[in-house]
Homo-oligomer: A and B are copies of this chain.
Amino acid sequence: MTAPRDIPNNLLESLKSLGLTKYEALVYIGLLRVAGATATEVHETSGVPRASVYPVLDRLVQKELVCVSHTTPKRFDAVPPDRGVENLMRRIESDAENARKTLDAIYREKGPEVRGSQELIWTIYGEENIKTRLAEMFRRAERSVEVLAANDLLEGGVLALLNDVLGSVQVDIVTDRLPGERPSRFGIHILPLAAPCEVHPTQGKLLPYERSGVFLVDDARTLLWLGSSGEQPSALYSESAGFVQFVRRHIASVTERARAAGQ
């Protein structure tokens, strides 16, 4: 092909992920500029080989991105971008719905209790995925929930998830500060979480507890929220006895030191 000229590369990528090929994208973009072009004109403004332009235009008409005139030679015009993108998304969303349904049927075939479990440590990527797992942990809590988390994490939606915890479950939250109302049924402990780096006192820096948190349910299941500022957060989840033991010690030690330093 000649030169795709001044077309931002990510635009082509975006259109590809909406189901267009490179040619389809180029032709559509070209048609946005000229309006009512013949196939040859489309070929000229898009840089797509003339012979390839015909099948591409057919597909674009099929996808409801361009309309055709009833003349000879045929003339083509692009559907306005917002409408065009919407037309593409409609198909994709129907596919998504179909996939969701079918996958869910497969997912439910196996009993819901077979999942997760075992003596493993899982890593979960993505904030939404972590919250999903947390929500499930809270929902299935039977005796106790312990939370050790920076305020920003709680405010960022985690606190809301705790509403699903059964009333009969003992909930303890350790955090650095907590504006807004405090749900009375929770045991709240405000403590300075940022701890001086004692073991390796590089520059006397503080190790802040930002975007991080530790969650322990029924002394049996635990989740470590590992957030590095700016980046995509990840988390460790485990039901392993050893790992749970480690987390219990961590919560105890942080709480104790924080309490000592705070008083």
Contact = CB atoms under 8 A, between A and B. Distances in A.
Contacts of A33: 106, 109-110
A126 B87 contact: yes
Interface stretch (A5-13, A48-56, A169-177, A251-259): A5-13
Contacts of A98: 10-11, 14
Nearest to A20: B99
A123 interface: yes
Q: How many copies does the complex hold?
A: 2
B87 A128 contact: yes
A89 to B, nearest CB: 5
Given A17-B91, A70-B123, A71-B120, A100 B82 contact: yes
Interface residues of A, number: 70
19 contacts: A14-B99, A18-B95, A35-B110, A36-B118, A64-B125, A64-B128, A67-B122, A67-B124, A67-B125, A70-B120, A70-B123, A71-B121, A77-B122, A81-B104, A81-B107, A83-B128, A85-B96, A87-B129, A89-B93
Across the A-B interface, give the 6 residue pairs with the lowest CB-CB distance, nearest first.
Answer: A81-B103, A14-B95, A14-B99, A69-B120, A70-B121, A64-B126
Given A18-B99, A34-B110, 6 more contacts: A11-B98, A17-B91, A35-B110, A35-B116, A70-B121, A87-B129
Interface of A: 8, 10-11, 13-15, 17-19, 28-29, 32-36, 61, 64, 67-71, 75, 77-93, 95-96, 98-100, 102-104, 106-107, 109-110, 114-118, 120-126, 128-129, 132, 236-237
